[in-house]
Structure 1
Amino acid sequence: MRATLRWAHADLRAHRGQSLFVVLASAGIIASLLLAVAMFSYAANPWQRIFTQSKGAHVWLHTGAGADPSALSGLDGIAGVSGPYRTGRATLESRGVRASVALRAADTRPPEIARPLITEGRWLDGRTDGADGADGVVLESSVARVLWAEPGDSLTVAGPDGSARTLRVAGVAEAAEPRYRPGGEPGIGWVLPGTFDRVAPKSTGQSVGLRLDDPADIDFTVQQAVTLLGADRVAQVTKWQQARADAGGDDRLLGQLFAVFGLGALLAAALAASGAISARIRGQLRDISILKAIGFTPGQVIRGFLVQHLAFALLGVTLGTAAIALLGARIPGRIGEAAGVWQDLPGHTALMAGVPAGAVLLIATATGLAAWRAGRVPPVPVARAALPSAAPMTSLGRRALGTRVPPALVLGWRAAFPRRPRTLITVARLALPLLMITVALVAWSTLDLFRSHPAHVGVPAALTVRAEQPGSLTEAELNRVLTESPGVAAVHPGVEVAALVPGQTGTITLRGLGTAGAPYPFAVVEGRPADGLDEAVAGQGLLDLLDVRVGDWVRMTVEGRPQILHIVGRSIEPESGGRVISTTVDTLQERDPELRPDFQHLVLRPGTDPRAVSSALAATAGGALEIRETANPADRLEPARGVIAALIGVLALIGFIELLTLISTGVRDRGRDLLALKAIGLTPRQVSSAIVAAAGFTAMVAAVLGTGLGVLSGSWLVDTQGRSSGMGAGIAHVPPTLLLASVVAGAVLGAVAAAAVPATRTARRRLADSLTETL
């Protein structure tokens, strides 16, 4: 063991540059993995992030005005109290859109517990009062999205005396409470006490939030609080599990998406670490032979390499982990924010210890395999001539030299692909990060498609209009108002009913959209649109639920009457988990002649602002219409954008480390051929050009392979996710060709730039320095 340690120490002193590279590579890989985990934790569970950042309340108690919640802070297990806030319901209107909101009277200083996280604008500070008498309001983000409200916009609210008042949006905030959904519980808005007195109804209640020391004691704590306040004075109790469940669908979708990226990043990092270690051991085969010649056993050689590289791994892992723990939150942008929030999220300590421990285990496994191969090296060095470093010159290469192709390119291609299995492994290791980057770009492009062309993903209508009071407008008058509105391209009547599936064991959504003369523009990706009576298109969720395919007939029961439809196509259905079957209004009226449309879907002309159309319709109809923006599935996936961008950066760092390993190996191998290259007449510049060309060719082939497979893998992944969610396959969008070409060009230029300096230094070595490379 003493001899092994002495040799390890001597080897470390003799190869300081290689040792430093292995340590830094390990540190970079660990830092990349930890940043990736931080981003996943930040975005895959947005509700948990908001709850942690805002110090959210585990329980919200909604009481009558006569209750006194001040004594709640003295209960055992209460870590903090938010409020109490005077609370009253109001209806806010903006651009013809109305939303029910529970207004809370808040101070100019945000609370410490259940603090609203301002994402746009600012908190209430009294500066929102203007010459028009408008008061300020901060809206929860889900309400603001429904109302299309941004900081500075004006909202209309009816006061206690029935007169209309104006509120100006001061800011938009996120809160770890149940989101607003039309027709469900009201949203949340915060106003100053004076504003509350002017706009809230006279019969108000109170809301108080409780943050607990132990969330597991929530039921016992609620019982204590209700007993203290009086059961007759507590109107409603909202627990944190309800808010988390409300956002659970989005968390699952994002979690599945990021889990795939995380596994890919982990595999790429493991291969990069393994490649760096294997390359270093291959570069010391001559030293290993000498060690065996002087009496070292294979076991001593294996132990020596294990001791060295485990020490390097521990040092690199420690440096990378410490860098993220101390400096991660100071990184600019979304990555730094994620690293800072991650420290307070559940599971942080386990991941902070588990990821480095797993990386050390992977590095130890890779080192053990490489050291085992080192132990099998013969004790007599084999002459370099007996082991050619490259494949023999092919006839194509000789013809290329004969046609005056620069020798550096020919020799660089020959060195990049020497017809060895190891070459395939090298290309595969470098292609994996590029493959994952391309998969991330496919996901990004798909999100852009959702946002820019919603008609391609089953959302052709931008607005949904309903009559505020049934019978207030006749069907002809409503159609005239909608069709004459500027910017409206088409108006499609619609009706939606619940239907019992065959066997009457569950319900599905049956929709009638459009008419036979003006069919609704469904996004049909399989089969054809429904253009005749008794024909329908269905979502993937419904096909899976009923175990049917396109072309089958389906019998269902609607209000006690049978409805038989022929499924002629599969459409993209982002609502109700895809458990939707859609036909024309004419088909449903054939079953029930008294059936009348409940709403109208408006398809706008390209480039038309939905807000402007909504405002115009509201002014024309005089408040007789309820106008809502059609939900876009991109809204719930919006947090994924920042994570995908950060993930691309992390994968690029892993790919760069892999590229440095490739270059160091190539420079070492070409350095051994220096005598032969100079003997046939190549200048130092041509030698360095050959080394750089070899790195560029390898990166080019790996980039083309990685991007090609990435496009296929990314499309399959997105479509598989769409199929499992019920929306259906056919939503994947391939990135533009120019973007994919830029990924390939970036990889090649990065390889050329990284190889330029070491290649030039190697080409300038003296001949006498290279004589030892012949063994």
Structure 2
Amino acid sequence: MRATLRWANADLRAHRGQTIVSVLATAGIVASLLLAAALFSYATNPWERIFSQTRGAHVWLSTGADADVAALTRLDGVADVSGPFPTARTTATSGGVRAAVEMRAAAFEPPEVGTPALVSGQWLDPEKPSGIVLENSFAQALWAETGDTLTVPGIGGTRTLKVIGVAETAEPHYRPGEQPGVGWVLPSTLAGTANTADGDAGQTLGLRLHDPRDTDFIVQRAVTELGADQVAGVTKWQEARADAEEGYRLLGLVFGVFGLGALLAGALVASGAISTRIRGQLRDISVLKAIGFTPGQVTGVFLIQHLAMALLAVALGTGTILAFGSRIPGRVGEAAAVWQELPGHLTLVLGLPASAVLLIVIATGLAAWRAGRISPVPSARTAGTGTTVGPLSRITRSALGLPLGLGLSVSSTLVLGWRSAFPRRPQAASAVLRLAVPLLLITVALSVWSTMERFQEHPEQVGLPTALTARSGHNGNLTEQQTRRLLAGHPDVTGVHPGAEVDALIPGQTGTITLRGLGTDAHPYPFTVEEGRHPDGPDEAVAGQGLLELLRAEVGDWVRMTVGGRPQILHIVGRSLEPADGGRVISTSLDTLRDRTSAMRPDFSLLELRPGSDPRAVSAELGERVDGGLEIWEVANPADGLSPARWGIAGLVVVLALIGFTELLTTIGACVRDRGRDLLALRAIGLTPRRISGVVVVSTGYIALAAAVVGIGGGVLLSRWLIDTQGRLSGIGAGIAQLPSVWMLTGLGAAAVLGAVASALLPAARVSRRRIADSLSETL
């Protein structure tokens, strides 16, 4: 064991440069994976992030205005409180858009528990008595931003408030008809609203607990302490988390797949680097065997070496991120700082480095086991390992321009570079595969990015041809037809489609689906049909992927459902992309529903907008045109929940690029080593040092080109299958994938080849200046 350790130490010192590069590369990969994990956790755990940043409350209680909530602060298990905040529920209007709001009276200083995290603007200011701070989801529903104004009922009329800030909280988001929005105002502003004058006032209190698992017990004690008649509502942190994370499940799945892919790519790179390093030490292995080392001791030497290097690299990469990650400017540093407070942080910090060490140990063990079987006799070693390269073929000699022993042709560098890049099929295929895997994953990441851009820039191609949903206010003086004429009169509105939506029972009455009537026979709704055709006759409909799988139906089938106790039979003539309700939607024209149910009336209108129009500006102008107000909201886009993925995908591309660069350095090192051994032969046939350098550069370029073709081509095929499969499983339906442009893919391949060529220039120049005596000694 002492001899093994001494030789391992001597070998590492003899190859300081190679050891340092290997350690730094591994440390960089580990650090990049940890940063990517921080970004992924930051993006896929929005509620956890906000809860940690704002010191959120685990329980929110809505009580009567006279309830004595001071006793709740003394309950065992309550660590701190937020409030109580006097509240009043009312209706806010901004640009004609109305929504329910819970106005809370707050102090000039934000509360220490449940502190609203400002997205824009500022907190309440005594110099701005008419200011209001809106919760982010509520502000989006009102299309309101910092600086906008909104009106609320007040004593003696309406009162105008100015939005001075928008903030995020860990409470449930605004949901029309279910959960009111939240707005913070000064106590004097709250006292002037109509609801407080009518006695419809209350108060809200947040409780932060020592142990979140005691939530149900604390709620029971709080209700008992206050009295059930004083408690109007209870919101627990589990409900808020479920509400916030509902739209991020797909994002977590995407990042999980990419994370596993990055680990796979890192494992392949580590395996290739270790195998290449051991192949370059065949002479050293012969010396070890000659002085009496057994195969087990040879294997142990390399295991000890690479285990020590892996532990050093992992410690260096992990320590750097933990110590300096939060100091990185921008979103990355913010993610690294918040990540330490998120659940699962310790698991990832320990799991990722441990996985990296395990992969390196496995790869080293396999390569070291093969090294232990190598014969110490050079001739036997060459024959056994298949390292010899056969003679030049007739085609190769013709390409070289040497059939009569004349001078070298211009193609000699290219042909010899090709022969140098692929001397042995197994090793060449392995090098190409290891470099192709990062390129494949980068192509998949770019495809996901392009698909998200398709949802946002061309929603009409993915089942979202309309941008706004409008419903006239209950206090309006216009009929539905008059309202639609006013909506259609806006210059940016290109289509107004009346619609109705009801729940229907499936055959057997074991579940419900959504039955929609959209458009009319004269003005049909522009469904996005991926299979079949548009409905253009009586009783014809299109269905989403989720409904087809639920009913085990296909395009062309007739389906029967029950609506309000009456049967409804429709002929499915097409499969449409349906982002809503998990695709469990069947849609026909409104006229078809009216024929079956005379009482069916349109209760909303879907608006098509001119390309490039601003939905917020259109909704504000429409709200002002309709007397009595207009309930209007944006059609939900699945890509809105994936917007945080952009930073994560960008970080992933950087990680994969670093992994690919590490593999490229391994490939260049192998080419330089092989060309060093062939230096005597290359000079003997008349190659100048410049052409010898060219052979090394060209061989590296060929390998990168082959990897680019395999990786990008495979990535294109895999991307379409993965994205369409996810679309089918989510119910939207296959056909949503958008591949990157040809120019982007060409640029990716060109960047890989040019990067390989540029990285090989300096090592190639060094090998061409080596002495022939050194090259001769390496062949022995």
User: Does residue 185 of structure 2 align to residue 180 of structure 1?
Assistant: no
Aligned to 1:144: 139
- Which deviates more from structure 2 when the two are superposed, residues 25-34 or residues 598-607? 25-34
What letter is aligned with 2:317? G
Q: Distance in 2 between matches of 1:405 and 1:105?
A: 83
- 1:716 offset after TM fit, Å? 1.4
User: Does residue 152 of structure 2 align to residue 157 of structure 1?
Assistant: yes
Residues 290 and 380, structure 1, Cα contact 8 Å, conserved in 2: no
Residues 22 and 277, structure 1, Cα contact 8 Å, conserved in 2: no
Q: Distance in 1 between matches of 2:363 and 2:23?
A: 15
Partner SS, residue 92 of structure 2: strand
Q: Distance in 1 between matches of 2:628 and 2:675?
A: 79
Partner SS, residue 379 of structure 2: coil
Aligned to 1:507: 512
Return the match for 1:647 from 647, 652, 663. 652
Could you give the per-residue CA deviations for residues 656-708 of structure 1, whole angstroms, max 9, x where no partner exists?
11111111122111121112222222222221122112112211211221111
Q: Distance in 2 between matches of 1:299 and 1:151?
A: 71
Q: Structure 1 residues 376 and 488, CA, compared in 2 at 3 Å: closer, same or farther?
A: same
Partner SS, residue 491 of structure 2: coil
Q: Distance in 2 between matches of 1:480 and 1:637?
A: 36
Q: Distance in 2 between matches of 1:138 and 1:711?
A: 46
- 1:485 offset after TM fit, Å? 1.6
Return the match for 2:351 from 350, 354, 362. 354
User: Does residue 434 of structure 2 align to residue 440 of structure 1?
Assistant: no
User: Does residue 317 of structure 2 align to residue 320 of structure 1?
Assistant: yes
Q: Distance in 1 between matches of 2:423 and 2:188?
A: 80
Aligned to 1:171: 165
Q: Distance in 2 between matches of 1:122 and 1:654?
A: 43
Residues 385 and 774, structure 1, Cα contact 8 Å, conserved in 2: no
Q: Distance in 2 between matches of 1:707 and 1:395?
A: 33
Could you give the per-residue CA deviations for residues 264-304 of structure 1, whole angstroms, max 9, x where no partner exists?
01111111122221111111011101211222111110111
Q: Distance in 2 between matches of 1:345 and 1:18?
A: 38
What letter is aligned with 1:243? A
Partner SS, residue 602 of structure 1: strand
Q: Distance in 2 between matches of 1:735 and 1:727?
A: 21
Q: Structure 1 residues 399 and 249, CA, compared in 2 at 3 Å: closer, same or farther?
A: farther
Aligned to 2:301: 304
Q: Structure 1 residues 305 and 643, CA, compared in 2 at 3 Å: closer, same or farther?
A: same
Q: Distance in 1 between matches of 2:294 and 2:218?
A: 68
- 1:388 offset after TM fit, Å? 5.4
- 1:569 offset after TM fit, Å? 0.7
Partner SS, residue 641 of structure 2: coil
What letter is aligned with 1:677? L
Aligned to 1:461: 466
- Which deviates more from structure 2 when the two are superposed, residues 467-476 or residues 62-71? 467-476
Unaligned regions of 5+ residues in structure 2, if any? 402-407
Residues 248 and 642, structure 2, Cα contact 8 Å, conserved in 1: no
Aligned to 1:737: 742
Could you give the per-residue CA deviations for residues 194-250 of structure 1, whole angstroms, max 9, x where no partner exists?
332334621321111111111111122122222333333221111011111213432
Aligned to 1:706: 711
Q: Distance in 1 between matches of 2:480 and 2:119?
A: 42
What letter is aligned with 1:455? E
- 1:366 offset after TM fit, Å? 0.7
User: Does residue 201 of structure 2 align to residue 208 of structure 1?
Assistant: no
What letter is aligned with 1:682? L
Q: Structure 1 residues 655 and 484, CA, compared in 2 at 3 Å: closer, same or farther?
A: same
- 1:544 offset after TM fit, Å? 1.2
Q: Distance in 1 between matches of 2:317 and 2:574?
A: 53
- 1:576 offset after TM fit, Å? 0.9
Q: Distance in 2 between matches of 1:597 and 1:224?
A: 47
- 1:494 offset after TM fit, Å? 0.6
- 1:528 offset after TM fit, Å? 0.9
- Which deviates more from structure 2 when the two are superposed, residues 486-495 or residues 23-32? 23-32
Measured on the aligned residues, the alpha-carbon RMSD in Å equals: 1.9
What letter is aligned with 2:447? V
Q: Distance in 2 between matches of 1:127 and 1:569?
A: 60
What letter is aligned with 1:159? G
Residues 472 and 624, structure 1, Cα contact 8 Å, conserved in 2: no
What letter is aligned with 1:189? G
Residues 29 and 273, structure 1, Cα contact 8 Å, conserved in 2: no
- Which deviates more from structure 2 when the two are superposed, residues 86-95 or residues 321-330? 86-95
Aligned to 1:557: 562
Residues 248 and 641, structure 2, Cα contact 8 Å, conserved in 1: no
Residues 516 and 588, structure 2, Cα contact 8 Å, conserved in 1: yes
Aligned to 1:688: 693
User: Does residue 247 of structure 2 align to residue 242 of structure 1?
Assistant: no
Partner SS, residue 635 of structure 1: helix
Aligned to 2:289: 292
Question: What are the equivalent positions in structure 2 for 1:291-440 lying under 5 Å apart?
Answer: 291-382=288-379, 390=389, 392-402=391-401, 404-440=409-445
Could you give the per-residue CA deviations for residues 590-626 of structure 1, whole angstroms, max 9, x where no partner exists?
1022322111111112122222322222222223432
Q: Distance in 2 between matches of 1:526 and 1:540?
A: 10
Residues 476 and 626, structure 2, Cα contact 8 Å, conserved in 1: no
Aligned length, in residue pairs: 769
Return the match for 1:625 from 622, 626, 630. 630
Q: Distance in 2 between matches of 1:352 and 1:730?
A: 38
- Which deviates more from structure 2 when the two are superposed, residues 542-551 or residues 367-376? 542-551
Q: Distance in 2 between matches of 1:619 and 1:223?
A: 47
What letter is aligned with 1:634? A
What letter is aligned with 2:653? I
Q: Distance in 2 between matches of 1:18 and 1:444?
A: 37
Residues 261 and 436, structure 1, Cα contact 8 Å, conserved in 2: yes
User: Does residue 586 of structure 2 align to residue 581 of structure 1?
Assistant: yes
User: Does residue 13 of structure 2 align to residue 16 of structure 1?
Assistant: no
Q: Distance in 2 between matches of 1:344 and 1:395?
A: 67
- 1:493 offset after TM fit, Å? 1.1
Q: Structure 1 residues 160 and 183, CA, compared in 2 at 3 Å: closer, same or farther?
A: same
User: Does residue 41 of structure 2 align to residue 41 of structure 1?
Assistant: yes
Residues 439 and 710, structure 1, Cα contact 8 Å, conserved in 2: yes
Q: Structure 1 residues 467 and 354, CA, compared in 2 at 3 Å: closer, same or farther?
A: same
Partner SS, residue 493 of structure 1: strand
Aligned sequence identity (%): 64
Unaligned regions of 5+ residues in structure 1, if any? 130-134
Q: Structure 1 residues 102 and 254, CA, compared in 2 at 3 Å: closer, same or farther?
A: same
TM-score by length of 1: 0.96
Residues 25 and 273, structure 1, Cα contact 8 Å, conserved in 2: no
- 1:479 offset after TM fit, Å? 3.1
- 1:529 offset after TM fit, Å? 1.0
Q: Distance in 2 between matches of 1:725 and 1:362?
A: 34
What letter is aligned with 2:565? G
Q: Distance in 1 between matches of 2:614 and 2:70?
A: 48
- Which deviates more from structure 2 when the two are superposed, residues 164-173 or residues 323-332? 164-173
Aligned to 1:132: none
- 1:470 offset after TM fit, Å? 8.1
User: Does residue 55 of structure 2 align to residue 55 of structure 1?
Assistant: yes
- 1:355 offset after TM fit, Å? 1.8
Question: What are the equivalent positions in structure 2 for 1:186-265 lying under 5 Å apart?
Answer: 186-199=180-193, 201-202=195-196, 203-265=200-262
Aligned to 1:603: 608
- 1:399 offset after TM fit, Å? 3.9
User: Does residue 30 of structure 2 align to residue 25 of structure 1?
Assistant: no
Q: Distance in 2 between matches of 1:84 and 1:658?
A: 59
Return the match for 1:665 from 631, 656, 670. 670
What letter is aligned with 1:667? V
Could you give the per-residue CA deviations for residues 102-123 of structure 1, whole angstroms, max 9, x where no partner exists?
1112223222211222222333
Q: Distance in 2 between matches of 1:475 and 1:182?
A: 21
Q: Distance in 1 between matches of 2:382 and 2:455?
A: 60
Aligned to 2:91: 91
Return the match for 2:755 from 746, 750, 755. 750
Partner SS, residue 323 of structure 2: helix
Residues 464 and 630, structure 1, Cα contact 8 Å, conserved in 2: yes
- Which deviates more from structure 2 when the two are superposed, residues 694-703 or residues 430-439? 694-703
